[in-house]
Amino acid sequence: MRAFVISKYKGPLHEADVPEPVVGERDVLVQVQAAGLNVLDEKIRSGAFKSFLRYELPQVMGNDVAGTVIGVGAEVRRFTLGDQVYARPDKDRIGTFAERIAVAEADLALKPATVTLEEAGSLPLVALTAWQALVEKGKVQAGQRVLIHGGAGGVGTIAIQLAKHLGATVATTVSAGNVDFVRKLGADIVIDYRNQDFEQLLDGYDLVLDSLGGQNLAKSLRVLRPGGKAIGIAGPPDPTFAKEAGMNPVLRLAIAALSRKVRQQAKKLGVTYEFLFVRASGDQLRQISALVDSGVLRPVVGRIFDFDQTVPAVQSLEKGGIRGKAVITRA
């Protein structure tokens, strides 16, 4: 089976012939027809997350899939042959840059009926990230104020729409060329990060969704109201994440050390910081599908690459500049 893999951390993505997926009793075999590109793909390749997300190499890459069911395990009840589905596979079972992938039934959902396979393939990871940040961790309520960094990116485009649906006032940071674009998505306050300092313009926010980390995260803490929360998807990971991931005590201490500085900064300001590493969830994708089909959320696909272009497509992530998501497609 054709697939695109990494053979070592920081090594190049390359095509390889790999074994067919093993389909367990509760697995669904999916013919991959679209696979979204994510910053996470590059972080995995570079080894940025290998302290807590280590793969047995070579590893087929890819964290988003949309396609057609071509096989089901003996215990599968929710899906049948021919269903069009989408998923963010479990973090231990990634590999959507391939012709086929086996996905756990619990992680899979029927794709939204009103969008194309390419649009569906762009959604799972970023939509689940937005949902888990805003609904689960953030518990965003009507009337609250939410700052979403990188509003024109994959997570940002969905998070803006979801936050507005939840009734929040939404601020976002983008480049000047994307100001009108994110306003059309629902952003109320738009900050040109190249020419404006969001810390000088915003104050009293209930929640910040940070996709950059570092100094941007430190500044984000200072725009929160007392009791507010910053949720980071770029890191650093925190002790709660380490505990939920079932890490051993030594690794949990190491993970805690990575985020100690930012957690101390947050405590001094009377706010909190939480790390989010998105998990797979078919149940949440079904709720997301309903929002897409009702017109609340719309996927944003900025560029489509052919499967044969997977290597340059992934390399394009470093350059940025794509609104929403880039997607790899297979006929």
Structural domains of the chain sorted by starting position, each given as residue range(s) with its CATH number in brackets: 2-123+299-329 (3.90.180.10), 126-275 (3.40.50.720)
Nearest to 54 by CA among 258, 236, 251, 234: 251
Cβ proximity of 238 and 263 under 8 Å: yes
E strand residue ranges, the chain: 2-6, 13-17, 27-36, 59-60, 65-72, 84-87, 100-104, 108-110, 145-149, 169-174, 189-192, 205-210, 224-232, 272-275, 301-306, 325-329
| Residues contacting residue 138 through CB under 8 Å, at least 6 positions apart | 146, 206, 207, 209, 229, 231
233 contacts 211 by C-beta, under 8 angstroms: yes
Burial class (CB in 10 A: 0-12, 13-18, 19+), 268: exposed
On whether the CB atoms of residues 191 and 211 are closer than 8 A, the answer is no
* CA dist., res. 219 & res. 178, Å (int): 22
Residue owning tokens 């899979």: 108
Enumerate residues 6+ apart whose C-beta is below 8 A from 83.
68, 69, 110
Each residue's pLDDT expressed in tens, for the chain with a length of 331 residues: 999 999 999 999 999 999 999 999 999 999 999 999 999 999 899 998 887 788 999 999 999 999 999 999 999 999 999 999 999 999 999 999 999 999 999 999 999 999 999 999 999 999 999 999 999 999 999 999 999 999 999 999 999 999 999 999 999 999 999 999 999 999 999 999 999 999 999 999 999 999 999 999 999 999 999 999 999 999 889 888 888 888 888 888 888 888 899 999 999 999 999 999 999 999 999 999 999 999 999 999 999 999 999 999 998 888 888 999 999 999 7
Residues in the chain: 331
* CA 158/CA 160 separation, integer angstroms: 6
Tell me the whole-structure pTM to 2 decimals.
0.96
Name the H helices within 85-232. 117-121, 124-131, 154-165, 179-185, 198-201, 214-221
